[in-house]
Amino acid sequence: MELSDGKLREYTKRILKIRMKLLCEQSFFGLLLMNVKMGLSDAYDTAWTDVAEHIFFNPEFMEELSDGELQYVLEHEIMHIVLAHVERMREGNFDRELYNIASDIVVNSNILKAHGGDEKYISLANFDGPQMHRSPDGREGCEYTVEEIYRMLDAMCKKNDGKDKLGEDGYAGWDEHMDPQDDADSEQDGDGEGGGEGDKDRDDNDKEGNDKGGNDKGDNDKEGNDKGNIDKRQIQRDLWIGRIINAVETLAERAKIGELGDKGVGNIPGLVERFFEEYMDPKVDWRMILNDFIQEEITDYSFTPPDRRFSDSPFFLPDYNDTEYKVENLLFMIDTSGSMSTEEISQAYGEIKSAVDQFNGKLKGLLGFFDACVYDPVPFEDEEEMRVIRPKGGGGTRFDIIFEYVDKNMMDEPPVCIIIMTDGMADFPDEEAAMEIPVLWLINNEDIDPPWGVVARM
């Protein structure tokens, strides 16, 4: 595929113009698009993304798109990257065609929600109008994960004896692809142009070389490559989690100072809307309970009486003495068992951030995770250090192992208090297990009542 310099400049200018428009009008998408590279290729017929944070366009397809349609395609592709659809497809035993359909439903529904439900924003004139956005049960795709919709589609195929029936039910897409190649395979040459045959040839040559070589060496190389790929994928996922958080926080700050006008949270997808609302208006006032625990250990400031300079304020602020203080050695433990959803774990992160904010950067603690065992808590002194601590777990739930861990590993300098963020779905140990350390149970439902300790609700 040969393109003149003039055409390359034209395509580049057009993409940059649409991205700038998104930054102004649909900021969530625009901010995230700043983190990806754009390329031109004829490897596929339309547009696609890969695991390496690229979005590619076939130039002929791009010529067919209006500016509004190009905006939709950019929003569509960045959502595939944000939701790690390529990675999730690679990790599961999925039919690729069905998985593409399921992921498109989730993505389009989130874009539709971000545009107030107006289907013109997910339409391509040359591909039969509005794109699919409802799950097989008729509900919006943003209410489900891609895996849940995949299972619905798979059941439809089995019931209808084949995928050819899906089109009759409105599940025909615009032949868009997600390329599951590794990062190195996804890079395009020179000015962004590339093709698919070179990757295929290299794969065939690699296979031939491995067949000729020794099995032990091949197995060792494979094990090393698998570990390297897993590490790289985890880094990419963590990076995108941070980018999503930064985008939401940027929008929250803009909303606070009125820059978003009447749009409010309407210009972010449904999958992060609740996160945005909780960031703007946290539901839990457990931090006031935390103050009571800390006051027993910290004596260089007091909440009684409050600072009279703020007597008319709705906030209850401490009266600081001249002594420099720091709230130290708080132990936060987040339940990461199988009964805790990703959203609930993210909410726990947000609540810890609010505690860090409350103490104006002077809170020093440890953040750990537990399911049926404890994953070593990691110390942090500010929000930035707290944000990079990634959750671990996914098994069953035990509370007693938290106190066993503290007894064995932390009693030289015991925590000021232990804050346990959980759904409470496990047996509670006897109170003696806490060894007189104050415990705050932060429960995310109204059904569980711990038999001891202080309880707050999420």
Tens of pLDDT, residues 181-194:
544 343 343 333 33
Query: Does 330 have pLDDT greater than 70?
Result: yes
Is the pLDDT at 437 greater than 80, yes or no?
yes
Per the structure, the complete domain to which residue 265 belongs is given by 245-278
Q: Are residues 167 and 236 in the same domain?
A: yes
The CA distance from 57 to 25, in Å, is 23
What are the residues facing 320 on neighbouring strands?
301
pLDDT of the residue at 373: 92
223 shares a domain with 94: yes
Residue with the larger pLDDT of the pair 198 and 387:
387
Judgement on whether residues 426 and 306 belong to the same structural domain of the protein: yes
**pLDDT value of residue 374:** 93
pLDDT at residue 208 tops 50: no
Can you give the pLDDT at residue 326?
58
146 vs 51: which has the higher pLDDT: 146
Kindly tell me the sign of the dihedral angle through the C-alpha atoms of 344, 345, 347, 348: positive
For the ranges 161-170, 246-255, 365-374, 443-452, which has the lowest average pLDDT?
A: 161-170
Cα distance between residue 76 and residue 372, in whole Å:
39
- What integer pLDDT is reported at residue 50 of this predicted model? 78
pLDDT tens digits for range 229-249:
656 777 777 788 788 888 877
CATH assignment of the domain containing 440: 3.40.50.410
Model confidence band, residue 200 (pLDDT cutoffs 50, 70, 90) = very low
Structurally, the chain folds into a number of domains equal to 3
Domain check: are 156 and 97 in the same one?
Answer: yes
211 confidence band (pLDDT: 50, 70, 90): very low
- Rg from Cα positions in the chain: 26
Q: What is the overall mean pLDDT for the chain?
A: 75
Looking at the structure, do residues 68 and 91 belong to the same domain, yes or no?
Answer: yes
Are 125 and 146 members of one domain?
Answer: yes
Question: What sign for the dihedral angle of Cα 160, 165, 168, 170?
Answer: positive
201 and 84, same domain (yes or no): yes
Among residues 217, 242, 267, which one ends one of the domains?
242
pLDDT at residue 370, as a whole number:
93
Residue 73 — very low, low, confident or very high, per pLDDT cuts 50/70/90? Answer: very high
What lies within 8 Å, CB to CB, of 59 at 6+ separation is 1, 3, 7, 11, 40, 42
Q: Per-residue confidence at 228, pLDDT binned at 50, 70, 90? A: low
Q: Identify the domain boundary among 232, 263, 278.
A: 278
**Pair (335, 418) in one structural domain:** yes
If asked whether residues 298 and 194 sit together in one domain, one would say no
Residues 134 and 236 in one domain: yes
325 and 446 inside one domain: yes
CB 31 within 8 A of CB 272: no
Q: Are residue 302 and residue 200 in the same domain, yes or no?
A: no
Angle CA 428–430–433, to nearest 5: 105
Check residue 42 and report its DSSP letter. -
Long-range contacts of 432-438 (CB under 8 A, 24+ apart): 433/400, 433/403, 433/404, 434/403, 435/403, 435/406, 435/407, 435/411, 437/406, 438/293, 438/296
